[in-house]
Amino acid sequence: MTFFETRNKVNLDITFRCPLECSKCSRQSYYAKNNKPVEGQDMSLNSFMKIVNHFKELSFCGQVSDPVNHPQFIKFLKISFEFKKNVSVHTANSHKTLKWYEQAFKANVNAKWNFGISGLPKDSHIYRKNQDGKKLFDMMLLSKKILKNKPIWQYIVFSYNEKDIENAKEIAAKENLIFKLVMSKRFSVNDSLKPINNTLYVKKD
C-alpha cells in the first residue's frame, strides 16, 4: 500500500476565498506574481464525502484561503461530527456574524479551533490586514462556552507584537485559552516585520 493509502490525517484547503491580506500568505505571493486574485473553486460536498470516508483526522487549514469562507463549511463540520472524525480548524477571518460562529461551533463541538490573532487583539490587523482582532478574540471566548476543547490562540511573532508576548500569555491564562507562539520563516533579510529577538521561540512555521 502507498503512503496516501495508509495515512490517517489530511489537511484541506477547501476554498479559494479570503477577505484578509496577510502579506506573508501564499495568497498574496500569488497575487504579486500574477497580478490577479487566486483562482479556484469550492470543494464539493461529493468530494468532501470521499475524504471523510477515507481519513480519520481532518485539518481545515487553508494555504491560500480561510476555511470559514466555504459556503458549506458548517455542513462539513456537521458531517465530520456525525462520522466521528478528529477535526481541527484554523481561522483568522473575523467577517462572519455572531450567529454564524455559534452555528459553526455547535455543528461539531469536538472540533479544535485555532484562532490566528497575531498580537494583542487591537494590533493584530497590522499584519492580518482587514481583520477585526477584537471581534475575533470575542468569538474565541464565545467558543469556550460551546466547544469541548479549549480554543487555541495562535500568535505569530512580529516586530510590532514581540514586546506584548508576556502580556498576551497572561491574558490567555486568565481566559483559560491555549497560547501558541509561532515564529515564521518567511521574513526577508531587511523585513520590517521581522522580530528583533528570534531566538526565544521554538515553534517554526
- Grid cell of 186 as nine digits: 518567511
Domain of 70, CATH number, reads: 3.20.20.70
Q: What are phi and psi of 143, to 5 degrees?
A: -60, -30
Q: Is residue 188 part of a domain?
A: no
Name the CA dihedral angle for 190, 116, 132, 110, rounded to a multiple of 10 degrees: 170
Give the pLDDT confidence score for residue 1 in this predicted structure: 46
Q: Which residues pair with residue 12 across a beta bridge? A: 60
What's residue 72's pLDDT? 98
User: Could you give the CA distance from residue 12 to residue 63 in angstroms, rounded to a whole number?
Assistant: 9
Q: In the prediction, which pLDDT does 205 show? A: 43
Q: How many domains does one find in the chain?
A: 1
Indicate whether 69 belongs to any domain: yes
161 domain-assigned = yes
Q: Helix crossing, 45-52 with 73-82: angle to 10°?
A: 30
Residue 187 lies in a domain: no
What is the predicted pLDDT for the residue at 198?
60
| Per-residue pLDDT in tens (0 to 9) along the chain, 205 residues | 455 556 799 999 999 999 999 888 877 776 667 777 778 899 999 999 999 999 999 999 988 899 999 999 999 999 999 999 999 999 999 999 999 999 999 999 999 999 999 999 999 999 999 999 999 999 999 999 999 999 999 999 999 999 999 999 999 999 999 999 998 888 887 889 999 876 555 444 4
Task: Identify whether 196 is part of a domain.
Answer: no
Domain span including residue 34: 3-182
